[in-house]
Structures are given as structure tokens and as C-alpha cells.
């Protein structure tokens, strides 16, 4: 199990990849972001995207799937959820057929002042496509247990 004490500021991690499918783009958009350029080739062709594009929120969901799958393998993490993210940016469109790659770097860790059994850490998360172009970036904030005495 990975605890707060095991985290190293500056450490880079590769979490894995995710293939974006047309079917998922349409399904996600139909349920959660039904804008025309996420649902129709014809409508998307008339926008700056030029073709069907995944919702940014779908990109977030695919990224989370990669992170959770990675953490469920191996030794696991003593994570306690997240109070949120900072500086979420969608940098380039994501299209069906893209292969997303999720990378993270721990940039800060702070023990809780009021709860001695937990801490928090921040990671700069970057999602790239198959051409190594950054498509999304955000700072993840995670609560995590401290190692039991």
C-alpha cells in the first residue's frame, strides 16, 4: 500500500493509455454533453474541430479510468478521495481513434494540521495523444492516509 510518506515530490509516473472510440464519444455526449459537434459529423465539420470531437468532460472521465485502473494494479494507494482539481485546461481536441496517455508528477505534499492520520498531495497531470501532443492538463489534489504507527 502506498501511503503519504511514500510519495516523492518530483517523481514522474506513467499511468497508462486509453483508446478513444467513436461509440464512446457519441454515448458520452448523448448523455452528458449533447452539443452538436460531439454528436454529428456534419455539425462538427462546420466548426473549428473539423470533425467529431470528444467532450472535454469525456476526456476527464477517460483519464480517471486510466488512473483508477493503474492504482488497482500492484500495491494500491491509501487514497481518501479528492477535494477537486485546479487549472483544468483542454489544450487540443480529442478525436475518435486517438490514443490518450496519462502522465503525472507529484509537485507538493502537505500533512494535515488538524488530522494527523492524513495528508494531501498535488500532482501535475498531463494527457497526451499518440503524437505526444498535450490535449489536457490539470492539477490533481488527493487526500491520502498516513502510514499507521
The pLDDT tens digits for 79-91 are 999 999 999 999 9
Three-state SS at 148: coil
d(CA 9, CA 148): 21
| Predicted confidence (pLDDT) per residue in 5-55, tens digit | 999 999 999 999 999 999 999 999 999 999 999 999 999 999 999 999 999
Q: Grid coordinates standing for 101?
A: 496517455
d(CA 113, CA 130): 42
Give kind and range of the element (H or E) at residue 16: strand 12-19
Count, in order, helices (H) and strands (E) of the chain. 4, 5
* Domains of the chain, earliest start first: 4-145 (3.10.129.10)
Query: Global pTM?
Result: 0.94
Amino acid at each position: 500500500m502506498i501511503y503519504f510518506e511514500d510519495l516523492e515530490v518530483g517523481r514522474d509516473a506513467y499511468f497508462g493509455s486509453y483508446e478513444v472510440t467513436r461509440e464512446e464519444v457519441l454515448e458520452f455526449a448523448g448523455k452528458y454533453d449533447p452539443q452538436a459537434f460531439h454528436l454529428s459529423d456534419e455539425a462538427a465539420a462546420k466548426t473549428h474541430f473539423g470533425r467529431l470531437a470528444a467532450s472535454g468532460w469525456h476526456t476527464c472521465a477517460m483519464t480517471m479510468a486510466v488512473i483508477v485502473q493503474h492504482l488497482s494494479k500492484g500495491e494500491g494507494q491509501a487514497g481518501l478521495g479528492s477535494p477537486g482539481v485546479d487549472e483544468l485546461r483542454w489544450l487540443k481536441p480529442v478525436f475518435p481513434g486517438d490514443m490518450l496517455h496519462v502522465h503525472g508528477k507529484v509537485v507538493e505534499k502537505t500533512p494535515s494540521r488538524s488530522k494527523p492520520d492524513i495528508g494531501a498531495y498535488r500532482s501535475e497531470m498531463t494527457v497526451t495523444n499518440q503524437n505526444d501532443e498535450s490535449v489536457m492538463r490539470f492539477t490533481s489534489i488527493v487526500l491520502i492516509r498516513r502510514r499507521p504507527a
